[in-house]
Amino acid sequence: MKESIVIAAGGTGGHISPGVALAEVLTEKKEVFSVSEVYIHSLLRNKDNPDLQSPPCEVIWHNSPQFRGMRALIYPFLFLLQFTKTCIAFQKRKVTAVIGMGGYSSLPAILYAILFRKKLFLCEQNCVPGKITRYFQRFAVKLALSFPTRDPISSKIPYKVIGNPIRKKIIPQTMGIRQNENLHEGRKNIVNVLVLGGSQGARQLNNMILKTTENPDVFQKFRFRVLTGTSLYDETLSKSKGSTEIISYANDMKPNYEWANLVVARSGAGVIAECLVFGLPMVLIPYPYAADNHQKENADYIEKEGAALTIHSTSDDPSLLVKYLLTWKTNPDELKEMGHNSLRLSNVNAAYQTISYFFPH
């Protein structure tokens, strides 16, 4: 019997992007994995997400409420309404398996799998398993991890550390490239620094970089490209000076990764995984208010493996970043070594390997 599979890839880009990567594999390899249909289940508010503009399969939209900030008496009724719609949509499409990517928006699909005794698989992107993984792993057939987790997974649950699934459009044309082997020889060894605050931007990162560029020794050696986030573009542009390149957002990130020798970013699992496949060293500045402080754990793991340095701060004080950059100015071999470690941790085939783990063929 062929599978009809729903990928519950909901709330944020960190859940959507790997979910779309899995959908790409399943739609291309239907016969290999004995699949009849593939669907993505995502929130209606994600319609403008770049990864869902031209999805590889049908998207089933839903509008499940988030409990946070909602009156407790109202939430059950709103959730029940959306869950009922989900059940009707899944029954109509004869869904036989659900892959949950995490986040509250995957809850209706997961509950459907449990209630109607369908196969349930879970993907966990972060070093600290989210609530969905912690609460529902015991119902899962298998669990796929992007990184080793801080807390041990139950020995009763089959799991495997595979890596975060990467979309096809991100994967480098030439596998195994190392961005820092020559550090742009012929350009006076200028180091290109890509700054990523996420689609919503990060004022802290933007301001830290602008202050960093005021250091003449840094300015001499490093060139910066800052993806500010659309809401912070005008503000950051008005403050910028010199040759710092200010961009609001990029739908196609591959050219930016190919340009970069170094990335300064938050430590979401998606950004980290993309930097790894390009062999990029990182300076990670975890978002301090992330659920369960998972960004800190992600950053600490990558630093421990030698692919990044971290800055644990809520201020835009540039002193530590300046210190790192000036160290690399006189010792670029450290950047090269970090790049090698980054590439060592990468897995460009994580999407295919995850599907193969869930549906052996």
Say if pTM beats, i.e. exceeds, 0.85. yes
Distance CA 87, CA 319 (A): 53
- Domain segments of the chain as ranges: 3-161, 191-345
Count of alpha carbons within 13 angstroms of residue 106, beta-carbon side: 30
Q: 13: annotated binding-site residue?
A: yes
269-277 vs 294-304: helix axis angle to the nearest 10? 20
Q: 126: annotated binding-site residue?
A: yes
Q: 186: annotated binding-site residue?
A: no
Query: Which regions in the chain score pLDDT beneath 70?
Result: 67-72, 175-188, 199-201
CA–CA distance from 319 to each of 226, 316, 322, 339 (Å)? 18, 9, 5, 23
Distance CA 289, CA 192 (A): 29
Shared fold status for 3-161 and 191-345? yes
Are the C-beta atoms of residues 16 and 167 closer than 8 Å to each other?
no
Are the C-beta atoms of residues 171 and 352 closer than 8 Å to each other?
no
Q: 19: annotated binding-site residue?
A: no
Q: 14: annotated binding-site residue?
A: yes
Q: 199: annotated binding-site residue?
A: yes
Q: Give the DSSP per-residue string, 61-91.
A: EE-PPPSTTS-TTTHHHHHHHHHHHHHHHHH
Nearest to 213 by CA among 188, 231, 238, 239: 239
- Tens of pLDDT, residues 104-148: 899 999 999 999 999 999 999 999 999 999 999 999 999 999 999
Decide the pairing of beta strands 245-247 and 222-227. Answer: parallel
The conformation of residue 292, written as its DSSP 8-state character, comes to G
Are the C-beta atoms of residues 213 and 242 closer than 8 Å to each other?
yes
Distance CA 242, CA 280 (A): 25
Nearest to 265 by CA among 222, 215, 208: 208
Q: What is the CA radius of gyration of the chain?
A: 21
State in words which class domain 191-345 has. Answer: alpha beta
Element (H, E) at 345: helix 332-345
- Tens of pLDDT, residues 292-345: 889 999 999 999 999 999 999 889 999 999 999 999 988 888 998 999 999 999
What confidence score (pLDDT) does residue 184 get? 46
Strand partners, 195: 226, 264
Angle at 43 between CA 118 and CA 26, to 5 degrees: 50
What confidence score (pLDDT) does residue 68 get? 65
Maximum CA extent, the chain: 66
Q: 270: annotated binding-site residue?
A: no
What confidence score (pLDDT) does residue 13 get? 74
Distance CA 288, CA 173 (A): 35
Q: Work out the number of other CB atoms within 10 angstroms of the CB of residue 190.
A: 14
Q: Which fold is adopted by the domain 3-161?
A: Rossmann fold (3.40.50)
What confidence score (pLDDT) does residue 186 get? 42
What confidence score (pLDDT) does residue 289 get? 83
